[in-house]
Structure 1
Amino acid sequence: MHSLNALVHAASSIVRQLPPTPSFCISKPSPNILSFAEFDISPTTGFIPSTIPLRRLPPPYGPWECALDLVNCGVDSVLALGEDTSPDGLAKRESGERWRQNIRDMPVLPTEPMEGCIRQQRRAHLVLAYLVHFYIHSLAPSTSIAPVVPAPLAIPLVTISHALGIAPILTYADTVLWNVTPKNIAQPLAPGNIRILTNFSGTDDEEAFYEVCAQIELFGAEALHIMAMYQNLNIKDTYRLRLDTLCSVAACLGQITTHIEDLTTILKGVHNWCAPKTFYDNIRPWFRGSSSGPIPWVYEGVTAAHGWKEEWRTLSGPSGGQSTLMHALDAFLDVDHSMEKTDDLRTFITPRKGNDRSFMRRMQQYMPAVQRAFLDHIGGSSFPIRQFATSVSNSISPNAKEVVNKYNSAVIALRKFRDAHLKIACVYIVVQARKAEAEATFMSPELAVAPRLPPAPSGCPVSAMLLRLVAEGDADLLAVCPISGMNIKDVPSAPAATPPSSTHQQSAKSAPVIGTGGTDVVSLLRSCRDSTSRAIVPTPR
């Protein structure tokens, strides 16, 4: 992997200064004016708090911090994944059980002293959520016994989660938004000055993964300014539009497009800093939520009095789908992931099989309540920007046409971001899962043949899976299978016969790969991309 210094240089190369306040910003306060302070948004860091996060909670909560110290230390951690049967993993079984016993023996610490201190509450949620995932995923896997989050973690985590309005599990906010601090504390948090506080594996890959997400959030702060500029125009209709208003809206959309393109550039860079196999084998297993196993987790001792909600019984792990920034872009551009809006100017797209229309809405429960309120504010605009574009779409005015074209360019840029996300999911999750299946098949005693040869390229399950994606319209995802090395266009449509086991021959058609969000990751991302395309405003021919 390339060094993190190179990541810093790459991010810095696309830094743009925030644009000066345009002349089209309203000068008088409006009842609908968007105030960042109201939604706890920083003008410079967006949804990442601009204040330096606490490194440790005050003394009453020392047991939590000490427990985290023992596992937030990479190879020196006393824990290993429960399914890790490597010599190192087996060697840590005893120390891991001692660590878990110490967790169970802790007192249930009260959270009332934190009330009114948002920095302590964020730190508490981060520490407790990481401890929960370290605890649960270091247990031996079981298909019949429900994993139990012990009361010393469960009760304070649920109480703090209720106060913050966020799910009691590890979230994107914990791994990214509240998990970064300036590398040089004499300088503000900014691209190139980021340090990650907590991780599972202790690898540079995991730090880089979080850092790429943080870079996206920091660059996204500029897009939030553009949303505020449009909101603060306080447009009610398009009947008496002034020319400068049309120009202002077009300028907003042009800048949004540029910012989304920057986010895509940063996202694509993850390939250089985080190895797919390291992510899949050493990082992603720790992310899994209670919905990913056969039996949901049990939060010991929690009741409604602690703020427990029934919908928290099955929860997803952290994922990019929980980024408020991406939801804000959707809300601003009026992208309808629920596919419920049926106005005549929305392109009809047949929903894909297995399309989870409620996924994006569900992901909002993993955001702090104040950030959900921001999404509601953007989504409840008196005159959404897409409505503005559709209202002028039949106008012969060049300025009106420019608005529609700029709007569609922004939507296309967002679709390209999702194309990039889908490609990354294929490489980092789907391909790795299919590769693991293929390796398990190859090593299975059921296939004991002498000599044991690797499957022929034409029978590669990963190649077959990618070929299916090509047939379904994603020919540009991956040109070459990373396992067989074959160009996808050269993969036979019917895989050749493989060694004798019909069960293992079906690996290319096996169950969908489930993401940490709890859904079929490829179907979900393709559906999100489809609903993004649906927002494009038709233009007269």
Structure 2
Amino acid sequence: MPSAFVIEGRRPAGYIFITPCPRRLVRTLVYQAQCTLNSTAKASHLARLRSTPDPGTGYSLRQENFLQLHLMSQLTRATLTMLPPIPILADYGISPTHGFLPDVLPLTRLPDPYYNKWEAVVSNLQALILSRRLRSVVDRLPVLSTIGLEHEAEWRRAYSLLCFMAHGYVWGGDQPSDHLPPPITVPLLQVSEHLELPPVATYAAVCLWNFKPLFMDEGIDSLENLASLNTFTGSLDESWFYLVSVAIEAHGAPIIPLMLTAIAAAREGDLAAVTRCLRGFAERLTDLTSILQRMHESCDPLIFYNRIRPFLAGSKNMAEAGLPLGLNYDDGSGRLDYRFYSGGSNAQSSLIQFFDVVLGIDHRPTGEFGGRKTRQSSESPREDRAPGQRHNFIMEMRRYMPGPHARFLDQVGLVANVRGFVETHADNPQLTLAYDACLAMLSSFRDKHIAIVTRYIIVPSREVRARSRSRSPEATRKRLDLASASRQRKDVGGTGQSSGPTGTANTKLKGTGGTALIPFLKQARDETGEPAVAEWTRRFMTRTNRTEGRGDFFMGKSEVSSIIEEVQVGGLAGTWTMDEEVGGICNY
């Protein structure tokens, strides 16, 4: 190793990392540099150093814009590196006002008449599905080239159109189709590659790029000023379901630059600025919860469960719904290309993941607490799966985000320092209260979401199952999709018990991507409170004896909550087996 490191240019704006951290080296860092010092024990502290070099150490300031450290022999193992730069929103296609929604409003129609056939199919999608003629119409379409797509807005519109056609084609009949024809497959694969997205109806296809404002002079963060561009059913319920997410994205957008400012302020040791940012974050989170609670206003649970949810299903873990081999993406070459993709889900929302990343919230596999697994987890029948079959759920969902958005989250994860900054200044009551308030508001947001999942999936699944028992077997078997498959799974043997290995009721109630819901969401909620600084706050937000929905208007009578059953599921982060994916109403 050379005996000196030289940093040329202007004064670095960020931290300087020294590992390990000899005390002699600390005293020699000059130029009022704020440093983070990490010892081998992983303890860290902040120090603003204004002292001059100690001549005895051999460190000296070469000139005003150069910092030269002459390392002594006993310090040759020390390394000097700069913090990664705080990401610039424009570099990742993110708007400071609209967030992960496009800065340019989604197109209502592709401008090139060449693509009129796509537009015609989607504009008549509901009628074609109702008349069972969608597949024959799509089969007769020509394979259109994507060469006419110029601007990003056109690529996004094409992606949304093709995804709606694809899912309508697969799930729009009495039996699902495991074959996607070339008129959809060929352009969809090309558009997906351009946008760095999988060829499936993702959150971006049905929410982020599928809305328009009713009045251009009003904001898009108001549900009263939003409309969906495309739907499968043409129902108000489906539009409202998508638009609640759009409004959350729009209203939560200012949080992104706000918390990047907090990261920069933490690097400068600005306690007041970090506190202000956290307070603003908490207030916005309260507003997002209020928007989420409006789901019931125009989206009926039974319509969602039976009519809307099946169209959002992917091809992964859908054997019982009629896709045992996945979905064959036929590109016209005659080669079988079966693929498995998760369905659309709000787990693919970059905004919600941003909240977790910037606050330093860690998620573990369900049943694992504080590094220890519960008995339920340790006895899971999936424990013997090979390590190669397991993956991190959070990172898996980032594959379903637009590429630039996923890279932005990766970069934020490298620079996130708010949690560490708050822990370092735990003696500042205003700072810790603001941080804990953010955790409390995010936990409350997840509480409301659990209530929605219960009302829109758990309760309807019971009602549908009860009605199906009075029908003839022929009527029950007539249609096969996600909703009917969920019902039939629970009716094995007429006992209402799952056919899974544990025999636990409801263990295989799945979302559109194939995963159970409630334990996953409960632990995500509880883990949100774990970073709390104040001990009483941490105990309050991580308690496990809460009854979701009791006294909540989403749930109605409190005894409804008793139907929520403990379902074994892989977890929010850490390791998930390959046959457990996220899906359903919206797994935040």
TM-score normalised to structure 2 length = 0.65
Q: Is the 8 A contact 1:180 1:196 kept in 2?
A: yes
1:79-135 deviation per Cα after TM superposition (whole angstroms, max 9, x unaligned):
13xxxxxxxxxxx23xx2xx31231222222213325x1011000100000000111
Task: Report the equivalent of 1:120.
Answer: 154
* Residue among 312, 315, 331 paired with 1:301: 331
Rounded to whole Å, the distance in 1 between the matches of 2:144 and 2:244 is 35
* Residue among 106, 109, 112 paired with 2:141: 106
Q: How does 1:260-339 map to 2 (within 5 A)?
A: 260-294=285-319, 295=324, 296-301=326-331, 313-338=339-364
Q: Give the CA deviation at 1:324.
A: 0.8
Rounded to whole Å, the distance in 2 between the matches of 1:505 and 1:316 is 26
Q: Are residues 390 and 163 of structure 1, via their aligned partners in 2, closer, same or farther at CA, if it must alter by over 3 Å?
A: same
1:487-510 deviation per Cα after TM superposition (whole angstroms, max 9, x unaligned):
xxxxxxxxxxxxx99633537814
* Residue among 105, 108, 125 paired with 1:52: 105
Q: Are residues 147 and 220 of structure 1, via their aligned partners in 2, closer, same or farther at CA, if it must alter by over 3 Å?
A: same
Task: Report the equivalent of 1:416.
Answer: 444
Q: Are residues 423 and 189 of structure 1, via their aligned partners in 2, closer, same or farther at CA, if it must alter by over 3 Å?
A: closer
* Residue among 445, 458, 470 paired with 1:430: 458
Q: Give the CA deviation at 1:415.
A: 1.2
Task: Report the equivalent of 2:228.
Answer: 196
Q: Are residues 187 and 268 of structure 1, via their aligned partners in 2, closer, same or farther at CA, if it must alter by over 3 Å?
A: closer
* Residue among 105, 128, 139 paired with 1:78: 128
Rounded to whole Å, the distance in 2 between the matches of 1:205 and 1:235 is 46
Partner AA of 1:517 in structure 2: G
Matched, 1:384 2:417: yes
Rounded to whole Å, the distance in 2 between the matches of 1:527 and 1:195 is 33
Rounded to whole Å, the distance in 1 between the matches of 2:493 and 2:219 is 59
Q: Give the CA deviation at 1:31.
A: 7.5
State the secondary structure of the residue aligned to 1:136.
helix
State the secondary structure of the residue aligned to 2:107.
coil
Matched, 1:185 2:176: no
Q: Are residues 540 and 318 of structure 1, via their aligned partners in 2, closer, same or farther at CA, if it must alter by over 3 Å?
A: closer
Task: Report the equivalent of 1:227.
Answer: 259
Q: Give the CA deviation at 1:440.
A: 1.3
Q: Is the 8 A contact 1:339 1:357 kept in 2?
A: no
When you count helix as a share of all residues, which structure comes out higher? 1
* Residue among 523, 534, 554 paired with 1:527: 523
Rounded to whole Å, the distance in 1 between the matches of 2:536 and 2:400 is 41
State the secondary structure of the residue aligned to 1:195.
strand
Q: Is the 8 A contact 2:422 2:435 kept in 1?
A: yes
* Residue among 504, 518, 541 paired with 2:495: 504
State the secondary structure of the residue aligned to 2:512.
coil
Rounded to whole Å, the distance in 1 between the matches of 2:283 and 2:411 is 23
Q: Is the 8 A contact 2:265 2:273 kept in 1?
A: no
Give the unaligned 5+ runs of structure 1: 1-29, 81-91, 447-461, 466-499
Matched, 1:440 2:490: no
Partner AA of 1:221 in structure 2: A
Give the unaligned 5+ runs of structure 2: 1-82, 383-389, 475-486, 499-503, 538-588
Q: Which runs of 4+ in 1 moved over 4 A?
A: 346-357, 538-541
Q: Are residues 185 and 254 of structure 1, via their aligned partners in 2, closer, same or farther at CA, if it must alter by over 3 Å?
A: closer
Matched, 1:256 2:281: yes
Which stretch shifts more, 523-532 or 275-284? 523-532
Partner AA of 1:206 in structure 2: E
Partner AA of 2:136 in structure 1: Q
* Residue among 184, 191, 199 paired with 1:160: 191
Q: Are residues 260 and 501 of structure 1, via their aligned partners in 2, closer, same or farther at CA, if it must alter by over 3 Å?
A: closer
Rounded to whole Å, the distance in 2 between the matches of 1:41 and 1:405 is 30
* Residue among 221, 228, 248 paired with 1:216: 248
Q: Are residues 539 and 182 of structure 1, via their aligned partners in 2, closer, same or farther at CA, if it must alter by over 3 Å?
A: same
Counting matched residue pairs gives 416
Structure scoring higher RCO (CA < 8 A, sep ≥ 6) equals: 1
Q: Give the CA deviation at 1:234.
A: 6.1
When you count strand as a share of all residues, which structure comes out higher? 2
Q: Are residues 276 and 68 of structure 1, via their aligned partners in 2, closer, same or farther at CA, if it must alter by over 3 Å?
A: same
Q: Is the 8 A contact 1:332 1:379 kept in 2?
A: yes
